[in-house]
Amino acid sequence: MKDTFTMDCPQPRLLDETHQGVIGTGMDRPDGPQKVSGTAPYTADNPTEGVAHGALVRATVTRGRVAGIDRASIANLPGVIDVITDPRMTRNPAQGMAGEAPVQPGDAVHYHGQPIALVVAETFEAARDAAQRLKVTYTTENAAVTPENGEHEVGEPDAAGDFQRAFDSAEVQLDREYTTPSQVSAAMEPHAAIAEWKGNEVTLRAAQQMVRFNKAELADTLGIDESQVRILSPFVGGGFGSKLGLGPEAAAACIASQKLGRPVRVVMPRQTVFDCVLRRSETKQRVRLGATKDGRLTAISHDDQVSNLDGEGFAEPTSQASQFLYGADGLSFTQTVARIAATPAGSVRAPGEAVGMLAFESAVDELAQELGMDPLELRLKNIPATHPLDGRPYSVRRLADCLTGGAERFGWKDRAVKREGDWLVGMGMASAARSNMLVKSAARVRLTGDRAVVETDMTDIGTGTYAILAQITAEMLGLPPAQVEVRLGDSDLPGASGSGGSFGANSAGSATFLAAKDLRGQIAERLGCAVDDLTLQDGRARGANREVALSELVEAELTAEATIEAGETAETHFSSGFGAHFAEVAVNEWTGEVRVRRMLGVMAMGRILNEKTARSQAIGGMVWGIGGALTEEMVNDSRDGHVVTRDLANYHVAAHADVPRDMQVVFLEERDDWANPIQTKGIGELGISGAGAAVLNAIAHATGVRIYDFPATPDKVIAALEAKG
Amino acid sequence: MYSFDFARPTSVADAVAALGQEDAQALSGGQTLIPTLKQRLASPSVLVSLSAIADLKGVSAEGGTLSIGAGTTHATVAAEAGAYPALAELAGQIGDPAVRNRGTIGGSIANNDPSACYPAAALGSGATIVTNSREIAADDYFQGMFTTALEEGEIITAVRFPIPEKAAYIKFQQPASRFALVGVYVSKGAGGVRVAVTGASNDGVFRWSEAEAALAGDFSAGAVEGLAAPSGADMISDLHGSGDYRAHLVKVLTKRAVAKANG
Amino acid sequence: MKTTLTVNGEAHEVTHDPRRSLLDTLRDDLRLTGTKKGCDHGQCGACTVLLNGERVNSCLCLTAMHDGDEVTTIEGIGSPERLSALQKAFVEKDGYQCGFCTPGQIMSATAMLREISEGAPSYVSDDLEVPKLTDTEMAERMSGNLCRCSAYPLIREAIAMASEVSQ
C-alpha cells in the first residue's frame, strides 16, 4: 500500500493542464444503457439458486420486552422454514460512517415497528403472511413518544461575541419560531439484502452507500473478522442517507443464511422502510436576528430542538449553515435533543441545511421585509470576511456572485406581485450553503495498453460515480472515456469514502486522480521524460521528443493505488459550496394551493467534473426543496409513536406534476485548491440547501402572509390568508 | 396477504354462485382491493375475479341514458362516454393512467370509498345502480363511508346515468394519492339540480341540499356565494386537511363546478 | 395454480400461489428483473408494464387474473445494444439518476406517447380533439411514476426528444 496523501496545502490544478478534454464535459453515463434497459442489477435482481425469502417481524409495542414467540402459530403454514431470533440481530440501521455494529437489543423493544425476528419461507408470499401471523407476546413499559414529553439534553452553545447584548441593543429585532416535521429519504429501491455463506465467509449483496464502513459494521455485528465478509453493491436505487449504514435486513439475512445453510433474501416492504429506516428528525427552531436600521446584522441566534432514540449519537445539525453564512457582533447556536421512543433519526439528504435553512432563510427574508430592504441586498451586505465563529478564512467563496448573478438572470429587480385570476404570483430567493468535506478514500487504477480499469469500493447511488471516475482517469491518462472501465461497490476493492455528505466525488475522485497521477509518473519513466513534460492524449504519450502509442508503451499492466485523507487545510480553511436559489410561485387565494412555476439555482461548487450529472444532482436537490417546503411530512401517532404516513400515498414526495419544466441551474466557474487535488466541492446537497426557503419566501411575497409551521400545505395557507383578512 | 382460493367465472350467474361461498369476495380491477389484501385489511376465503365476464364491459348511450357495464375501466369511460362529457372527464381524473387502465366503475361504486370520485357522479346525476338481482337508486344506495345497499354476494352489473342538461365535476386532489381531498359534482337536468360532495364528509358522499335549493332557482356560481359553507365539524379531519379546510373547499369547488357546468 | 402468459412475445406457463402478483411472476418466475418493485401498492409506478398494450402497475395485478394476456416489459422494448428512441433519449438527457424508477418511466412514457398519438385527451388538455405533447400534458400523464432522485424535468425533456425523433 502506498503512503496516504494528506491534504496539507493547496494543490496545483493538474486537471486544467491535461489534454484529453473530457473533464467537466456532459458525458453520458456509461451505465446508462443498462439502466434504461432494465439490465442494471440492483440487489434484489440477482438470481440466487435455492434462495429462501425472509420477512422481518416487527414489534407492535412501543417499549418493553419480547416475552414469547409462538413458533407453533405459523408452523402449519405451507412453505414456512423457520423463525430466526438471534442476539446479533440489529435494532436499526447503523448511523453513517459508524464502522461498528448498530444497537443489538436482544429481546428489548425500543420503538414501535422495531425488527424483532425474521421469518424465513420458501416463497415471498408465505414469508410475508407468516411474519404477520406470528404470535408474539410482550411485556411493556411506558415511554415518551413526542419531543415535548421526552427527556431533553441541552447542548453547550456554539457562540462568538455576546449575542444577548447584541440582540438586546439591536435597532431592529426579529424573533420567530418554526417547526418542521420528520422526513424520510424514500429512495425508490426499498432496502434489500441477499446473503450467502461459503464455509465461514459470507457474501452479502446489499443496497448500501458506504461499503468500507458497512463491511466493518457487518463483521462487528456477526462477531467475525472483516476478512470473512464481502459486500457487493454495484447498483443502488437511491440512498439520500437511508443506506449509509448497515441495515437490519442485511444483518438478518446473514444470520438466517448462516443458520439455514442456504442463501436468504430479505427485501423490506415499503411500509417497513418508513417504519425502521432512519428518519430526519422533526425540528423546533427559534431564530433571533438583530440588525441596524440600515441592514447590518448585529446579532444571530439559531437554536433548535431535535429528537432521537436512546443510544443514537446523531442529532440533526440544524443550524450548520446559519453558523457561517452571515456575520454579526454576537452569534449563538444551542441544540437540544429530546429522547423519544420512535424510529431513530439519522442522515437524510443535507442533514442540517435541508430543514435549518427553511427556517433561517425565512427569518432573514422577514427581517429584510421589516427593514424595508431588498432581501437580496440584506444578504449581500452581511457576507462575513472570515468564518464568524472561528475566524478561519473561506477557501473560495462566490456567494455574492451567485446572489447577484442569479438575481439578474431571474429578473429579480422587476419582481412585483401579479394577480392572474384566482392566482397570486410572487418571487422569493434564498442563499444556499453546504459545508464541504474530504473523507479518507482509496482507489486503484490499472493500465494495460490503452485501456484502463478503475477499482474502488465506492458506490454510485445515482450520483454519477461511474461517469466521473471514468472521466478523471481518461483525462489523466489521455484516453477516450469508453476505454476506461469503472468497477465499484465491491468490498474486496480499495476502500473509499462511500456516498454521503456530498463528499463522494471529492474523496473517491481524488483517490482515483492520485492513482492515475502515479501512473503518469510510471509512463513518463518508460518514455524517458520528466513527468512535467509528459503529454497524454487519445491513447498516445508524448515527451522528450518521442511520441508512442500507449498500446506499445504499456504492454504489461501498470498498477497504482492511492489513498487520500483530509489534512491541515481542513483546519486552516473553511470550505463550503455556496449558491443562491430563486423561485416564482403562484398561490391560489381560494384553495391555498401553491404551484411552483420556475426555479433557478446559481451555484459555485468548485470544479464541475461532469456538467450533465452535476446538473441532475442540483435539480434533484431543488425538487427536494419543493417537497420540504410544500408537501413532505412524516406523522407519528402521538400515543404509541408508530408511523402513520407509512406509504407513498400518505407521504408526498414531489411527482412530475409538482415540478415545472423551467428548473434552471447555472454553475459558476470555481476551483477550490484547499479542498482536494481535483478542486471540487460537493454537489448533491447544495441543491436542496436553501431551495425550499426560496419557495416559502415566494409565497410570502405573493400573499403577504408567512407560514411558520412547515410544510406550507394548502390548509395552512388558507388559514394564514383568512387570519390576515 | 392471507391465503385464498381464486375463481375466474365467465358469466354473471357463475360469479353469483361462486360468491355464495362463505367469506367469498368479488374482485374487479383490483386497484383498491389488491392493496387492501396486501395490508391484510381483508381476508376472503375465495376471490372471485369478475375480469373474464364479457357482459360486464362496455359503454352505451340510448334515449338520454348512459349505461356503463360494471367491469368497464376508468380509461374506457374517459374515452367512450362522450355522450356525458362531465362523467368522461371525471373518469379521466381518477388516480393515474395505470390505475385508470385497470380500475372499474363497479369496483369503485361497490367499495364506496369516502374520497372516491364515482360515488359523487352517481349521486350527483341521480344514477341507478343495477345489480344481478335489482335496481337501486343512488339516493338509496350510498349509506355512509364504505357502506352500501349491496347484500352479501350481490354484484353490480351496470350503472345507468340519466344524461343531464348541464353537469361538471371539480376535484381538489390529495396530491400523493390523487384521491379527492374534496370533489364536487353538480348537475341540472330533468330531475332538478343535484350537488354531490365526495372526500369531505365523515358520512361519505352526500348531497349538499342548501346548495341544491339555492341553485334550483338560479343555477349560477353567484347563487352559492351567499351560502354558509357546511359545518367543518361534520367533515373529515386528517393529515391532508382539517375539517374546516374541507368545508371551505366544498363551497369554493361548488362555485367552480357550477361555473364550469354553465360553460 | 397455473396461468399462461405471453411475455415479450414468448408464451410461458407459470405455476404459482394464488396470491402471486404479476410483478413477482415477472421478476422471480420469469427472471425479468427489469421491472422493479418500489412500493408493491400501486403508488410509485416502478413496476409499470404494458398489459395487452396498456400501461398498468404490475404489482396491482394478480397473476391469476391474467390467463391468456399479453405483457410487454422493459426487456421487450430494447437491450443495451439496441435501445429504443426513448431509451436513447433518457441516456442523452440524463433522464434518471439511480435508475431504479427508469424502466417504469420508460414503459409509462412508451404508452403515453401512443395514447397521445391516438388522441386520448387528459383533463389538462386545452384541445379535447387533438392533445399535444406539451410539458403540462406530460407532467400530468406521467404523474403515476415517481422519481425520488427527481429527474422529472429531464425525463420530460427526454420524452419530448424521443417524440420528435419518432415523428
pLDDT in tens, A354-392: 999 999 999 999 999 999 999 999 999 999 999 999 999
A215: confidence class by pLDDT, cuts 50, 70, 90: very high
What span, in angstroms and rounded, lies between the C-alpha atoms of C87 and C105?
10
Which chains touch C (3+ CB pairs under 8 A)? Answer: A, B
CB-defined contacts B:C, below 8 A:
85
- How do the residues of chain B divide into helix, strand and coil, expressed in percent and rounded to 5? 35, 25, 40
Do residue B176 and residue A650 have CB atoms under 8 angstroms apart?
yes
C118 to chain B, any CB pair closer than 8 A? The answer is: no
- Percent of chain B surpassing pLDDT 90: 93
pLDDT value of residue C128? 59
Please say which residue of B162, B181, B206 terminates a domain. Answer: B162
pLDDT value of residue B240? 87
Domain C85-166 CATH superfamily: [2Fe-2S]-binding domain (1.10.150.120)
Burial call A166-204: b when 16+ CB within 10 Å, e when fewer: bbeebebbbebebebbbbbbbbbbbbbbbbbbeeeebbb
What span, in angstroms and rounded, lies between the C-alpha atoms of B100 and B92?
7
How confident is the model over A336-359, as pLDDT tens digits? 999 999 999 999 999 999 999 999
pLDDT value of residue C166? 67
A60: confidence class by pLDDT, cuts 50, 70, 90: very high
- B158 with B170, same domain? no
CATH of the domain at B141: 3.30.465.10
Report the amino acid identity of residue A207: A
Q: If you measure CA to CA, which chain B residue comes closest to C109? A: B97
pLDDT value of residue A2? 58
How confident is the model over C117-152, as pLDDT tens digits? 888 777 777 665 677 889 999 999 999 999 999 999
pLDDT value of residue C129? 63
Nearest to A590 among B177, B244, B252 (CB): B252
- B152 with B70, same domain? yes
Contacting C with CB below 8 Å, chain B residues are: 1, 3-6, 8, 27, 30-31, 34-35, 37-38, 47, 49, 51, 75, 78-79, 89, 92-93, 95-99, 101-102, 176-178
| Active-site position among A555, A669, A685, A722 | A685
CA proximity to A340, closest of A319, A318, A315, A304: A315
| Residue extents of the structural domains in chain A | 4-40+438-571, 43-143+185-276, 394-434+575-724
- B195 with B251, same domain? yes
What span, in angstroms and rounded, lies between the C-alpha atoms of A430 and A695?
9
Distances (CA, A) of B146 to A27, B102, B110, B141, C72: 54, 20, 8, 11, 35
A33 to chain C, any CB pair closer than 8 A? The answer is: yes
What DSSP state is assigned to residue B230?
A: P
Q: What is the mean pLDDT of residues A141-166?
A: 97
What span, in angstroms and rounded, lies between the C-alpha atoms of A555 and B247?
78
What Rg value do the Cα atoms of chain A yield, rounded?
26
Q: What is the mean pLDDT of residues A311-324?
A: 97
State yes or no: is A685 an active-site residue: yes
Average pLDDT, chain A: 97
> Residue A711: is the preceding peptide bond cis (ω within 30°)?
yes
pLDDT value of residue A581? 98
Q: What is the mean pLDDT of residues B230-242?
A: 90
- DSSP, collapsed to helix, strand or coil, labels residue A231 as strand
pLDDT surpassing 80 at residue A499: yes
pLDDT value of residue C167? 61
Q: What is the mean pLDDT of residues A219-238?
A: 98
Q: What is the mean pLDDT of residues A292-308?
A: 98
pLDDT value of residue A476? 98
Q: Which residues of chain C have pLDDT under 50?
A: none
Q: According to the CATH classification, is domain C2-76 in 3.40.50.1370?
A: no
Q: Where in chain C is the domain with CATH 3.10.20.30?
A: 2-76
Q: Strand (E) positions, chain B? A: 5-7, 24-27, 46-49, 59-62, 65-69, 128-131, 135-137, 156-162, 166-173, 180-189, 192-198, 206-207
Which chains touch B (3+ CB pairs under 8 A)? Answer: A, C
- DSSP, collapsed to helix, strand or coil, labels residue B171 as strand
Q: What is the mean pLDDT of residues B205-213?
A: 97
Query: Which residues of C fall within a CB distance of 8 Å from A691?
Result: none
pLDDT value of residue C119? 82
pLDDT value of residue A121? 98
The whole domain housing B39 covers 5-49
Query: How many residues in chain A?
Result: 725
Residues in a beta bridge with A359: none
H helix or E strand, kind and range, residue A667: strand A663-667
Our count of domains for chain B comes to 3
- Triad B183, B184, B188: Cα angle to 5°: 155
Nearest to B30 among C45, C54, C60 (CB): C60
Residues in a beta bridge with C57: C48
Domains A43-143+185-276 and A394-434+575-724 share a fold: yes
- B98 with B184, same domain? no
**Considering the entire predicted model, what is its pTM?**
0.97
CA proximity to A441, closest of A428, A454, A431: A454
Do residue B40 and residue A132 have CB atoms under 8 angstroms apart?
yes
Nearest to A591 among B176, B239, B252 (CB): B252
User: Would you say A73 and A26 are in contact if contact means Cβ atoms under 8 Å apart?
Assistant: no
What would the 3-class secondary structure string for A401-456 be? HHHHHHHHHHCHHHCCCEEECCEEEEEEEEEEEEECCCCCEEEEEEEECCEEEEEC
C79 to chain A, any CB pair closer than 8 A? The answer is: yes
Do residue A649 and residue B2 have CB atoms under 8 angstroms apart?
no
What span, in angstroms and rounded, lies between the C-alpha atoms of A109 and A472?
48
CATH number of A43-143+185-276: 3.30.365.10
A645: confidence class by pLDDT, cuts 50, 70, 90: very high
Interface of C with A in 14-53 (CB under 8 A): 17, 19-20, 24, 27-28, 31-41, 43-44, 46
- B89 with B174, same domain? no
How confident is the model over A234-292, as pLDDT tens digits? 999 999 999 999 999 999 999 999 999 999 999 999 999 999 999 999 999 999 999 99
All three cell numbers of A324, joined, read 457561517
Shortest distance between the Cα of C138 and any Cα of chain A, in A, equals 8
Shortest distance between the Cα of A590 and any Cα of chain B, in A, equals 7
Shortest distance between the Cα of A82 and any Cα of chain C, in A, equals 20
Residues in a beta bridge with A584: A427, A598
CATH topology of domain A4-40+438-571: Aldehyde Oxidoreductase; domain 4 (3.30.365)
Burial of A673 (0-12, 13-18, 19+ CB in 10 A): middle
Pick the CATH number of A394-434+575-724 from 3.30.365.10, 3.40.50.620, 3.90.25.10, 3.40.190.10: 3.30.365.10
